[in-house]
């Protein structure tokens, strides 16, 4: 049986119009009617109720519609997979990300992807969170990466992983001797904060308010690297993602202390344009990111089980 028959029936069911189904398939209205009758004859069922003023599927018609859509999905998927076998993953992949994600989260993924697909040239722009959304929406970036991803019109947002947020201080700070502290331990502490419009700042403000904790804001910055340098040279504290502290912890210039709060996690998400499949390189990179996330979750689950 020709798969075009499934397409005609699916379009007819979607539009409830023989004329529109005919236009979609570049055939005559009479041809659509004949093809539906041929299907009914082939399966010895009535697929549609042919009322004078209404159009509806019979119960058998709904079953056939579900099967038709499955068949078309398989054909479309097969066609795409066969095309990609003939394609080489190459070209430019344009990424935009907030600084902390670009410096600490993405590099392992981009290095691995470059080893697998050396013909792809990856470009990364370091932007503020609001600029990342805009760059994807207007087409300057293929993918965007932000903390605390939020839905936006015209964009798709997918959470990929999350970072633990920890208290950060210099080795000489009194709290540096603690392994774990409640948020209340921050009350009255000199605090290095993010600028007020950044998503991480807003999330931390909510967590502190919920715990009825008041800190003493000392300075505000728009990126994690500057916050780290300021905490290193002063007697203030901050709250940062644990993943950005690897170098400082090895050097002994900063101490991280676990916070006893269930809300101390920072989600990281990827942004894409809605209703746009993207280049082969973009799709392959997303697949690699999702695969890495699944493997990390599985490894964590195994560790917890042991």
User: Do 220 and 153 fall within a single domain?
Assistant: no
* pLDDT, mean of residues 77-99: 78
CA distance 43 to 60: 10
Q: What region does 163 belong to: left with phi over 0, alpha with psi -120 to 50, or beta?
A: beta
CA distance 129 to 301: 31
What local confidence, expressed as pLDDT, does residue 220 receive? Answer: 95
Residue 172 has pLDDT above 80, yes or no: yes
Q: Which of residues 31, 63, 85 is at a domain's end?
A: 85
Q: Which of residues 85, 109, 140 is at a domain's end?
A: 85
Q: What is the pLDDT of residues 249-270, one digit of tens each?
A: 999 999 999 999 888 999 999 9
User: Do 219 and 186 fall within a single domain?
Assistant: yes
Q: What is the pTM of this model?
A: 0.65
Higher per-residue pLDDT: 301 or 253: 253
What local confidence, expressed as pLDDT, does residue 276 receive? Answer: 77
What local confidence, expressed as pLDDT, does residue 164 receive? Answer: 94
Confidence of residue 86 (pLDDT cuts 50, 70, 90): low
Residue 236 has pLDDT above 90, yes or no: yes
Q: What is the pLDDT of residues 64-74, one digit of tens each?
A: 888 888 888 88
CA distance 119 to 113: 10
User: Do 126 and 215 fall within a single domain?
Assistant: no
User: Do 286 and 156 fall within a single domain?
Assistant: yes
| CATH at residue 18 | 1.10.10.10
User: Do 156 and 250 fall within a single domain?
Assistant: no
Chain centroid to CA 131: 17
Structure tokens at 64: 């056939």
Residue 301 has pLDDT above 50, yes or no: no
Which percentage of the chain shows pLDDT scores above 70? 91
Higher per-residue pLDDT: 226 or 304: 226
* pLDDT, mean of residues 3-12: 86
**Residue 151: Cβ-neighbour burial (10 angstroms; 0-12, 13-18, 19+):** exposed
Residue 303 has pLDDT above 60, yes or no: no
Position of tokens 């095309």? 83
- The answer to whether the beta carbons of residues 30 and 17 sit under 8 Å apart is no
User: Do 63 and 130 fall within a single domain?
Assistant: no
Residue 169 has pLDDT above 80, yes or no: yes
User: Do 151 and 275 fall within a single domain?
Assistant: yes
- The answer to whether the beta carbons of residues 48 and 61 sit under 8 Å apart is yes
Confidence of residue 201 (pLDDT cuts 50, 70, 90): very high
Higher per-residue pLDDT: 7 or 54: 7
- Residues in contact with 249: Cβ distance below 8 Å, sequence separation at least 6, in sequence order: 255, 256
**Averaged confidence pLDDT in the chain:** 87
User: Do 45 and 113 fall within a single domain?
Assistant: no
Higher per-residue pLDDT: 186 or 295: 186
User: Do 27 and 157 fall within a single domain?
Assistant: no
Structure tokens at 151: 């839905």
User: Do 132 and 179 fall within a single domain?
Assistant: no
Q: Which of residues 60, 85, 110 is at a domain's end?
A: 85
- The answer to whether the beta carbons of residues 292 and 109 sit under 8 Å apart is yes
User: Do 69 and 202 fall within a single domain?
Assistant: no
Q: Which of 32, 28, 62 is nearest to 45 (CA)?
A: 62
Higher per-residue pLDDT: 294 or 219: 219
Domain span at residue 192 reads 162-266
Counting the structural domains of the chain, the total is 3
* pLDDT, mean of residues 232-251: 92
User: Do 216 and 179 fall within a single domain?
Assistant: yes
């Amino acid at each position: 049986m020709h798969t075009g028959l499934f397409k005609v029936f699916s379009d007819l069911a979607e539009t409830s119009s023989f004329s529109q189904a005919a236009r979609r398939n570049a055939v005559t209205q009479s041809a659509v009617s004949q093809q539906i009758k041929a299907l009914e004859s082939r399966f010895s069922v009535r697929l549609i109720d042919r009322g004078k003023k209404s159009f509806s599927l019979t119960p058998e018609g709904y079953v056939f519609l579900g099967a038709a859509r499955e068949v078309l999905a398989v054909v479309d998927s097969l066609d795409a997979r066969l095309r990609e076998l003939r394609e080489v993953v190459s070209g430019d992949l344009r990424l935009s990300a907030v600084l902390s994600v670009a410096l600490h989260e993405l590099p392992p993924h981009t290095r691995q992807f470059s080893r697998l697909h050396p013909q792809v040239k990856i470009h990364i722009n370091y932007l503020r969170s609001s600029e990342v959304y805009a760059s994807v929406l207007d087409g300057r970036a293929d993918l965007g990466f932000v903390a605390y991803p939020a839905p936006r019109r015209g964009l798709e947002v997918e959470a990929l992983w999350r970072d633990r947020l920890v208290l950060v201080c210099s080795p000489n700070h009194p709290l540096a001797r603690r392994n774990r502290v409640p948020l209340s331990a921050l009350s009255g502490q000199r605090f290095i904060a993010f600028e007020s419009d950044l998503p991480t700042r807003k999330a931390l403000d909510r967590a502190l308010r919920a715990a009825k904790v008041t800190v003493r804001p000392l300075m505000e910055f728009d990126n994690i690297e500057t916050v780290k340098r300021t905490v290193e040279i002063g007697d203030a504290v901050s709250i940062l993602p644990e993943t950005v502290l690897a170098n400082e912890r090895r050097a002994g210039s900063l101490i991280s202390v676990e916070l006893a709060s269930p809300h101390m996690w920072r989600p990281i998400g990827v942004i894409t344009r809605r209703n746009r499949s993207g280049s082969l390189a973009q799709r392959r990179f997303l697949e690699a990111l999702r695969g890495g996330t699944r493997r990390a979750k599985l490894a964590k689950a195994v560790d917890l089980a042991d």
